[in-house]
Structure 1
Amino acid sequence: MAGRKKTAVAVPMNTTTDVVPFGRGGAFIAHVVGHLAGKALPYTAPWAGAAALPPLAGWATNTMWGATPLSAGLASAALAVGGAALTGVAWKSTPAATKFGKFRRAQVSASVAAGMGWLTCATAAGPFGSPVLDGWLIGGGMFAASWNVRQIIRNGASGDTETTEENGGMAALAAAIGWEKVRVRDAKGSGKGTVQAAVQVEPGTTVEAVQGTTGRVAAALQVPPSGVIVTPDPENASRGTISLRVADLLKDGVPFAQPTALGLLPTEDIPVGLYADGEVWALNPFGAAILQHVLVMGVTGAGKSEFLRSLVAHLATRRKMTVFLVDLAKGRQTVGHIADGIDWLIQDAKEAKRMLRSLPAAIKARGDVLASEGLDQWTPDSSLNAMLVWIEEAADVADFEELEEIARKARSVGIWLGISLQRATWTNLSTDIRANLQGSICFGVDQPGDAGFCLPDSVTGAGAIPAWGSSRPGYAFATGMGIPDARWVTEVRSGLTDREELAALVAAGAPYRDPLDETTATALGQAYAQRTHRGTNRTTVGVGQPAPATHPGHSGPAPADSVHDLEDDDHMSAAEEAAEMELQEAYDEVMGSIPGDPEPDAPYASLRLEDDVPDADDDSGMEFEAPAPVGTEEARHILYVELDGWVQSGRLEFEPADLIPATTAAGRKRPWMQGELKRLMELGLLQRDGHGSYSIVQSPLQPA
């Protein structure tokens, strides 16, 4: 009865005087007798067994086979061989990872051997004759007494010897790696390739120190380094949990999880893979209490693109959802087959900068709408779409200040920012930007220290470090975005995608995709209206209801012929290149016809076009006439016509010097032009970057 727990019986100390003394004494004696009986009961089992089992077994075998010498001899021989085998089984099957365990194994084996030896003799000679009877009386008493001694030692031990012993594998592990002040208990297998156990540290050590030994534990168990995770208990610094991944259930790949339905809202879970224990790995950024931007990191071939395709395919089947994606390196190669589900796919650096520069105005406009709707942050109740803005290798697209402003302000207005790159070092991504990317997915990295650029310290400290490079594509650790904290240290693997399957899924989702809401589209201005790629949705011609005709300044749905496949994009790119070459040739021809300055040292050689017209020299015989002055509105119109012409031709960036001809034609000088540029910025029609150039958000001649 080694597993029975001690029972404590409280003795009542009633001091009231209205009870008869003899009655109180009788109750006290009854309690004492009950307490002693409860204490003694666990120790009676060995005696009862020794008293009853041997004589009954000996009498039965002797009655069956002891009548004739031949049958008695054969039965005795069989029992002797069986007893030896049973003793060996008892020796091998009894855990002996500790000193107490070794004693128990010896005791169990000796008890089995003695019992089977006595039974062999009793079969031939009978159980009640001398010396068989004497052996039973003496040996049975010693057997019962030895087990009582073991029970006393076990129950009186100060440490949890039995608890540790019962987890023999964990005790052997502790002895192998030197966890002298660490107790491991309650080891349980999940049946899904993982084992978990509670960790208790004694005074003088910490759970953080145990976390530092995960490498030694993994080596002792012969599992991958990331297969041993130690997480502290947030409510008790002396406790923690150790998780061992003893089998890889994901090694044969994870199938892509189809959406449960078409037309879901953005706040529904997004299944993107499986955890190491076979549970579904799902994200829910828009359904979380706080929308958390995500940083995705991993070396080439680690599985970032596979994950992105799965994510975009799911979002492309949902209502009130819009996707912008920037990939200057291999956008079409990565997501070309699902490009129809992406509202704005950007592969040109200049266009990417236009989009990022237009986002602050869109963020402000969306914030005003949410405030008018009485919402502190975006929910499906809003008239606005949820948005995903995904940027591959962000350091090649925008400066840190620009990204930091977007990351800081976009969260509350329902714009989910995703940044993907190979190494998120401070040279590639500033710490201010990383602080605003509270979600993370870290695929394989080459150096263990690189994981710290992406994952929280609590995760890497627990041993969750994907230092396998590209050897395990799709495996990662993920945090935030609605993922429970306890799951942050569990390995995941993203689903394997098929190009034709995803293309068919995105095509099926077209009738459910909503176009970008008018507020955001208008605020994004000309950059959005003139975007190169336009995804399809339920208002695209040929898919849903007919789309209205639009002009270049309109921010509504795209005409049917503006939805391009891969071949159309290649054709347009070639046409654009030809147009640019033709323009450059014309520019070179005009500039080449202008002769050089014949007098480089002349006083007027340093004059610029934007400078004031100099006074005429009295002796020069030359006269300058200033343009006839015009009214303020007419002067502005001249300037606006110049800007609108650029918009109509697709030019959205300029420098102040480019407006000098229009300023001169309006009869104005540089200070007036600078004032007008400032005014247009305040109206939200222009944006100024950090290098003095401007971007046209909306043509001044286009209706707001």
Structure 2
Amino acid sequence: MRRRTVHDVMGRRNKTKQTAAGAQVVHVETDSSRLSGGWLLVHGLPLATPGIGCAIFAILIVLAHAQWGGDPVWTPLLSILFLLIGALVTFFAHLSAGPRMLLRVLMVVTGSLATGSLVLGLVVGMGAIWPAYILCSLVVWVLWGIWRGTKYAGATPTADGAGNPLMEAIKQAKVQFNNPTVDERGVVRATVETLSGGTLENARALMPMISAEARAVPGSTNLAGDLDVDGRGVVEIATRDNLKHGVPWPGVSGIGSLPTEPFAIGEYQTGPCQVQILGDLSKDRRAPDIKHLKIGGVTGSGKSTGARIFLASQLVKRRLNIIGIDLSKGLQTFGPFAHGMTWVITNEEEARLFLHRLKHVIKGRNNHLTSEKLMRWSPTSSLNVLEIWVEESKEFRKFQTLYGDLVADARSAGIFFVSSTQHWNYRNVSTDTRANHGAAIMFGVESYENAEQILPKDALAALGKNLQYWGANKPGYCYVTGLSIPMNRWGSMLRIYDPTDEQLTEAVELGAPHRDAMDPVTAHLFGELFTQRTRYPRSIWGATSGQDATATPAPAAAPQAPPAAAHRDPDTTAPARWPSTPTLTDDEQEMTEMADDETAEEREAMYEALRTSRRRHLGEDAHPSDLADVDPEDVISGVIVGPDTDGNEGDDEPETPRPSTEEAQRIWDMALDDWYREGRTTVRTADLVELLANVQRARKFLYRQTERWEQLGCVAPRPDAAGWDLIASPMQTTTRT
């Protein structure tokens, strides 16, 4: 019995029958009617064509001899002409036969015998050559019969694929498909092996043709190379779309597990897709480390649904703290499970302070891991994994430079970044930041340029010409790379689970007994920025009075040393230092950004005018510090720097003793601490100028003090050059360091 090939399964897919609903292999039935009249007409009639052609050619020879035979002029001329024409036709027929030896022999023999018979018949007539002509006709007829028989014998493709374009292409690619099977989900699988001179790249180039031949689901054809042996692989082809009507979420699993345990986020055509954010270093020294995740796709492609299923699956785990940032949609994405997240940030001012503070948190966590003799996070550490989920917004683009610096350093500190945005081009994200996101989920895009900015090169190579662009027409479909998914699955399309709001809320409740509070080291590093965050003690999804209706405030507490061990989140909550920001439309956001840009331009113009005025009035007496010490706020606020605060002290002795440097520094620290406890978020130059009189210092003291506060992580320069963001109290950071 001849071994079945992949063509047997796919080429006759519409003429197959399954033995049972759960059958693993589809058996191909034989075609009992192939010797019917239709078969004889299509494949039998061509076998008689050479005989008919020889009879017609004999009649032409007889007519030619009767017309020009015996003529002293036309006979030799036509003989020479027929010889030349016959030789040229035979030569070109030989070339057109290509590498097929039997066809080349057939063309040469047929052309030579036809030319010789025509010339001899023209000269001497058919009566003298008819025995030889009949013999030559029989030879040609037999050769044509052999050719037709090898091409169409049995009305099925032969082993070398002659007569079938797909099998011809497979032969030319020098690859072989063996052992095809079809499972109950309609997925065809076959092993792939390269022959001498062939590569898997040649096999991948055949995937679009194979997909069309099998009438496969678009984008479901995948050739996964063997990770251990080159030149081998497995091809999967879904002949029906098992994901067409959506994939209901079966619910959370792994309740109370560590963040090192995998969880399912969707299904391939062949089964569930399991992802894992990092491996367990305590069990395997080669366990995979954190790879930041980038999520891309057009509006309506399913990014928000993907975020919900990803986060809800993690809210049942312990040793994991999740912080969400969404400055555009507020709580539309995080709403069903905001009360289960450690921290939710929807205010731009709070997000800026958080990111500035995170630089010092990363450094502090790295130092703590070093003290535990760990090069990266492990379940043996006292720290929790920190996951920071950033949803796309126009406001967050202002922090891209700072975000890029944080992403580059966060992995070693056990911090996992997830960023979701429509476009990952250079206008939104730098090349380095994009490269630092080693994992990717690509939902629907509209061009190859969008895809190559999201997927790694290995995934693009695996997909080849089979890469699909569906935009928002197939929400939920996506490609996933990284996240501990084997590379040979990167080219397989899947569909994200579609959870209900009740399932998301239930996941939060099921995980409540197991979720850990922020570990004391990280909480202490964030300081009052963390203790004064907005908390959601219960579900806000569906609340009619807005997000603040369920946010429970509590009096702010003074910073204190961290407890010895971390357990669960306390029942008390701290008030938000930032008022809730209403969700704006895209037009309103764009108008706000334009207004901010105009304000910044006007402020810069004022700066330049003040610098020019200083240069014109001071002339050669100007010092660099004079030209740099220009702040429009000093002029606008009406603060006039006295003679003792501009660097030129008078002759009169101060009424009170001039404090020492340490005392002056302590006075300023106490003032900044008071502002921080009052809930202020910004410090302007005019505020600090007023403090100079209290410590009897010049402007140089202001510069040195602000630089010291920046190093401590207390303040950070504002992007609009309007002072500093107040992040933490210097009294708290001094105690910590």
- Shorter-chain TM range is 0.5 to 0.7
Aligned partner of 2:702 in structure 1 is 673
1:652 aligns with: 681
1:207 maps to 200
Q: What is the deviation of 1:320?
A: 1.4
Change in 2 beyond 3 A, CA 1:238/1:385 = closer
Residue 523 to residue 372, structure 1, CA distance change in 2 (3 Å): same
> What letter matches 2:726 in structure 1?
I
User: Quick one: which amino acid aligns to residue 313 of structure 1?
Assistant: A
Provide closer, same or farther for how the CA distance between residues 446 and 179 of structure 1 changes in structure 2, counting only shifts above 3 A: farther
Matched with 2:65 is none
1:527-561 deviations in Å (ceiling 9; x for gaps): 32332346689xxxxxxxxx997516569866646
Distance 1:373 1:467 in 2: 47
Shift of 1:172: 4.6
Distance 1:184 1:639 in 2: 78
Aligned partner of 2:728 among 685, 698, 702 = 698
Q: How big is the shift at 1:666? A: 1.6
SS at match of 2:379: coil
- For residues 110-137 of structure 1, what are the alpha-carbon distances to aligned partners after superposition, in whole Å with 9 as ceiling and x for unaligned? xxxxxxxxxxxxxxxxxxxxxxxxxxxx
- Counterpart Cα distance in 1 of 2:228 and 2:319: 41
Partner of 1:478: 480
- Counterpart CA distance in 1 for 2:376 and 2:228 is 32
In structure 1, the partner of 2:94 is none
Contact 1:530 1:553 in 2 (8 A): no
In the alignment, which residue of structure 2 is the partner of 1:462? Answer: 462
Q: In structure 1, how many angstroms separate the alpha carbons of the residues matched to 2:35 and 2:176?
A: 24
1:515 aligns with 2:513: no
Mean Cα displacement is larger for which, 371-380 or 213-222? 213-222
Aligned to 1:701, the other structure's residue is in SS state helix
Indicate the percent of aligned positions where both proteins have the same amino acid.
28
> Could you say what secondary structure the match of 1:523 adopts?
helix
Q: Which residue of 1 aligns with 2:497?
A: 495
**Equivalent residue, structure 1, for 2:61:** none
* Counterparts of residues 488-567 of structure 1 (less than 5 Å): 488-533=490-535, 551=557, 553=559, 560=572, 562=574
What does the per-residue CA deviation read over 1:586-627, in whole Å, with 9 as the maximum and x for residues that have no partner? xxxxxxxxxxxxxx99979999759964599xxxxx999867
CA distance in 2, matches of 1:252, 1:333: 24
Aligned position for 1:308: 307
Shift of 1:277: 0.5
SS of aligned partner of 2:336: helix
Aligned residue number for residue 211 of structure 2:
218
Query: Deviations along 1:137-183, whole A, 9 cap, x unmatched?
Result: xxxxxxxxxxxxxxxx9xxx9xxx9x985799x99562476762333
Whether the 8 Å contact between 1:174 and 1:180 is mirrored in structure 2 is: no
Amino acid at match of 2:391: E
User: 2:701 is paired with a residue of what secondary structure?
Assistant: helix
In structure 2, the partner of 1:374 is 373
Other structure's SS at 1:333 match = coil
Q: CA deviation at 1:653?
A: 3.2
CA-based RMSD: 4.3
1:209-265 superposed Cα distances (whole Å, 9 cap, x missing partner): 443454344344433441222344556665554332212112222122323353222
Aligned 8 A contact 2:709 2:715 in 1: yes
Between the aligned partners of 2:269 and 2:449, the Cα distance in structure 1 is 23
Taking the TM superposition and a 5 Å limit, the aligned residue runs for 1:320-469 are: 320-393=319-392, 396-397=395-396, 398-463=398-463, 465-469=467-471
| CA shift for structure 1 position 489 | 1.7
Residues 525, 393 of structure 1: alpha-carbon distance in 2 compared, 3 angstrom cutoff: same
Q: Could you list the per-position Cα deviations for residues 16-72 of structure 1 after superposition, in whole angstroms to 9, with x for gaps in the alignment?
A: xxxxxxxxxxxxxxxxxxxxxxxxxxxxxxxxxxxxxxxxxxxxxxxxxxxxxxxxx
Indicate the residue corresponding to 1:19 in structure 2.
Answer: none
1:264 aligns with 2:257: yes
Of 178, 181, 187 in structure 1, the residue corresponding to residue 173 of structure 2 is 181
Does 2:668 align with 1:639?
A: yes
CA gap 1:471/1:603 in 2 versus in 1, 3 angstroms:
closer
**Is the 1:612–1:669 contact (alpha carbons within 8 Å) kept by the matching residues of 2?**
no
CA distance 1:653–1:208, change in 2 (3 Å): farther
Q: 1:275 to 1:681 in 2, by over 3 A?
A: same
Aligned 1:110-259 pairs, distance under 5 A:
172=164, 174-175=166-167, 180-186=172-178, 187-201=180-194, 206-233=199-226, 238-259=231-252
Structure 2 Cα separation of the partners of residues 696 and 436 of structure 1: 29
Question: Which runs of structure 2 are paired with 1:576-591 in the superposition (5 Å)?
Answer: none
| Runs (5+) with no aligned partner, structure 2 | 5-29, 48-145, 281-286, 540-552, 563-568, 585-612, 619-625
The Cα of 1:353 is off from its aligned counterpart by 1.5
Say if 1:217 and 1:319 are closer, same or farther in 2 by CA, change over 3 A. Answer: same
Q: Distance in 1 between matches of 2:484 and 2:157?
A: 37
Q: Which moved more, 1:384-393 or 1:259-268?
A: 259-268
Q: What SS does the aligned partner of 2:418 have?
A: strand
Letter in 2 for 1:262: I
Q: 1:199 offset after TM fit, Å?
A: 3.8
Shift of 1:362: 0.9
Matched residues, number? 517
SS at match of 1:318: coil
Query: In the aligned structure 1, how far is the partner of 2:617 from the partner of 2:719?
Result: 34
Q: Bigger CA drift: 227-236 or 239-248?
A: 227-236
**2:143 equivalent in structure 1:** none
Residues 87, 409 of structure 1: alpha-carbon distance in 2 compared, 3 angstrom cutoff: closer
Amino acid at match of 2:492: T
Q: CA separation of 1:484/1:462 partners in 2, compared to 1, >3 Å: closer, same or farther? A: closer
What SS does structure 1 have at the residue aligned with 2:427?
A: coil
